[in-house]
A = this chain, B = another copy of it.
Amino acid sequence: MTQPAAGHLRHLLDLEHLSASQLDALLRRAQTFADGAHAPAALTGVAVCTLFFEPSTRTRLSFQLAAQRLGAHILNFDASTSSATKGETDLDTFRTLQAMGVRGFVVRHKSDGAVAALAAAANPGVALLNAGDGRSHHPTQGLLDMLTLRQAKGEDFSKLKVVIVGDVKHSRVARSDLHVLRKLGCGEIRVCGPASLLPDDDTLHGCIVSHDFDSALEGVDALMMLRLQRERMAEGLVTSLEDYHRDYGLTETRLRRAAPDAIVMHPGPMNRGVEITDAVADGPQSRVLAQVANGVAVRMAALEGLLA
């Protein structure tokens, strides 16, 4: 569905349906934006709407900046707090905005598959970008993570060892990263976290799974730390923040087990002192702010590719 005959992307709903060459083209274009390329008129007159059924100011602003830099008109529809819906179905909300002439939709939803369901109702010329749905997909996060990895480690991932740490079970970031790391031929993917926070389906196929953080860190080239949502405690999946930090918090001491030039990534916002210490978050191996910067570049490439 996301990949018509000619290889031109219609929507960006997930990363599974992109070919390696499509991924590469997006990342190359994103790198030019990260390097300062301008395209201030690429989307002149095009209306792009952030349609968030689940709030996320950070992601919304990143897309907004990307759209503005391409010259688009930007609208924000916060469906999670809006009175506008008044019992309206998500589909009617989407169709209404589409009828107004919006051509690009940046959609976040708490339900798996909800963005793809809306995409199925899109008119010709209208493109949807999934800004995160349920636990499933967050394709621009996967892309920005790959761009960050490339900048640090080059384009050949075949010798890379990457570890993803934390609440993989509930994380669309982890799922997007796993898909795209596999597609780009990452040499070794490790996944580490407490059993209660790791998925028991086929999400982790091909990964080396461990509950011991210290051993999982040995010699890795990149660490992808996940945010620990505080509601995991209320749900009984984690005993305490202190216990979690002791077992899965990334400290300077632990980081020494990784390769000397290993990079540390985190999708933000960080729980400092829980999954990551200040010293690591702000240390020389951290690429957290590079990820943020790459987020705008990747979203410019995606918006341009779909709508220009």
Contact = CB atoms under 8 A, between A and B. Distances in A.
Contact of A87 (B73, B88, B230): B230
Contact of A268 (B45, B69, B96, B270): B96
A7 to B, nearest CB: 30
B82 A75 contact: no
Give the dominant DSSP class at A's interface. mixed
A58 interface: yes
A205 interface: no
Contact of A65 (B47, B84, B272, B289): B47
A136 interface: no
A86 B38 CA distance: 33
Contact of A96 (B75, B78, B88, B289): B289
Interface stretch (A11-19, A20-28, A97-105, A211-219): A97-105
A51 to B, nearest CB: 10
B57 A271 contact: no
A64 B268 CA distance: 27
Contacts of A270: 88, 92
A61 B271 CA distance: 32
A95 interface: yes
Contact of A269 (B45, B86, B99, B272): B86
Given A56-B84, A83-B56, A85-B269, A62 B100 contact: yes
A65 B101 contact: yes
Contacts of A292: 96, 99-100
A102 B65 CA distance: 9
Contacts of A73: 65, 68-69
A293 B56 contact: no
Contacts of A89: 272
Q: How many copies does the complex hold?
A: 3
Contact of A68 (B47, B268, B269, B296): B47
A83 B95 contact: no
Contacts of A96: 58, 268-269, 289, 292
A77 B100 contact: no
Interface in A68-125: 68-69, 73, 75, 77-78, 82-89, 92-93, 95-102
A206 interface: no
Contacts of A101: 65, 293, 296
A100 B56 contact: no
20 contacts: A38-B45, A55-B83, A56-B83, A56-B84, A57-B77, A57-B83, A57-B84, A57-B85, A58-B96, A61-B97, A68-B73, A69-B73, A85-B269, A88-B268, A88-B270, A92-B268, A92-B272, A99-B290, A99-B292, A99-B293
Given A57-B77, A84-B269, 13 more contacts: A38-B45, A56-B84, A57-B83, A57-B84, A58-B96, A61-B84, A62-B100, A65-B101, A65-B102, A68-B73, A96-B268, A96-B289, A99-B292
